[in-house]
Structure 1
Amino acid sequence: MNMKRVIIIGTMIVTMSFAGTAWGQSAISPIPTAKWSIVDLDTREGSSDELLSALNQPSEEHLYQELYNGKSLRTITEENNGDLDKVIAIQVKQLREQLDKRLASGSIRSEQHAAQHAELEALVTQSANTAYNLT
């Protein structure tokens, strides 16, 4: 697989995983705003805690720092006695939900949905096993 594609997909998965947790508290706004992101910012409260729990991480900031320091999700999970299979399952579930929403909204065609859906688990697994050195 092309390294550039792996980095892009890995970055996308991490971003999608944390986007809902970073901006999870919605602000009250008198002016309605259009949703422009492919990431649904109104995620459920438990989704971030579920991922942090599977990784055995105390906070999102700590996890972000570990990833920034070049650790893979596998390494983080092993160092903290987490459950990598659960981490992968959570991310696959979240990304499948986003794909389903994109299909329902018409932003992707059913062929694209099927193709992305078919390779989702392999991409998430590969991303979880890959360390990205960002420093």
Structure 2
Amino acid sequence: MNRKRMMVICTLLLALSIGQSSTWGSRANAAALAPERALQVQDSEASKDDELLDTLGLSSDEQLYDALYNGQTLADIASSHQRDAQAVVDLQVAQLTEQLDQRLANKSITLEQYQAHKAELTQVVAKSVFGL
């Protein structure tokens, strides 16, 4: 296995883990305090994953993992399945905006932080999707 490729995948997985760490902690707490709420959170996250897979034209997480592992960008994956890469950008921007809205409502970020993140969100997501 190519060491460089392995490092890229590990870095991607680490970034995804860090980005979801607050959600994982909340899920564990929710399960202890309110099991029905924990199921809602899990269902919501699963539906977001399904939306991404549908938008990309894929049927499983494994297909997505394999394509990313083989060096394809999300735009490449969408194109190879006759899907619009801009739809992937729009979906991810909408999902991340929802997260930002929740963080602002929970007061885990300030209004200034919210505005700064929101201002650069589309550009950052587009760069990620198109591999720029």
Q: TM-score, normalised by structure 2?
A: 0.67
Higher relative contact order (CA 8 A, sep 6+): 1
* Aligned equivalent of 1:99: 100
Does the residue aligned with 1:127 lie in a helix, a strand or coil?
helix
Give me the whole-angstrom Cα distance separating, in 1, the residues matched to 2:131 and 2:59.
Answer: 22
2:16 is equivalent to residue 15 of structure 1: yes
Larger radius of gyration: 2
Gaps of 5+ in 1: 1-6, 34-39
Displacement, 1:41? 4.9
Taking the aligned partners of 1:53 and 1:30, their CA distance within structure 2 comes to: 28
* Structure 1 or 2: more helix by fraction: 2
- What letter is aligned with 2:62? E
Q: In the alignment, what sits opposite 2:59?
A: 58
With structure 1 as the length reference, what TM-score do the two structures score? 0.66
* Gap change, CA 1:83 and 1:30, over 3 Å in 2: closer
Q: Which amino acid aligns with 1:96?
A: T
1:89-110: per-residue Cα shift (whole Å, max 9, x none)? 1100000000011111111100
Partner amino acid, structure 2, of 1:121:
T
Partners of 2:90 and 2:31 in 1: how far apart?
Answer: 38
Quickly say closer, same or farther: Cα 1:93–1:70, change in 2 above 3 A: same
- 2:73 pairs with 1:80: no
Residue 47 of structure 1 deviates from its aligned partner by 2.3
Number of matched residues?
108
Matched AA of 2:129? A
Residue 15 of structure 1, CA deviation = 2.7
Q: Give unpaired runs (5+ residues) of structure 2.
A: 1-7, 35-40
Separation in 1 of the partners of 2:12 and 2:31? 33
Deviations 1:25-52, CA, capped at 9 Å, x for gaps: x89x87339xxxxxx6552553222211
Identical counterparts, % of pairs: 38
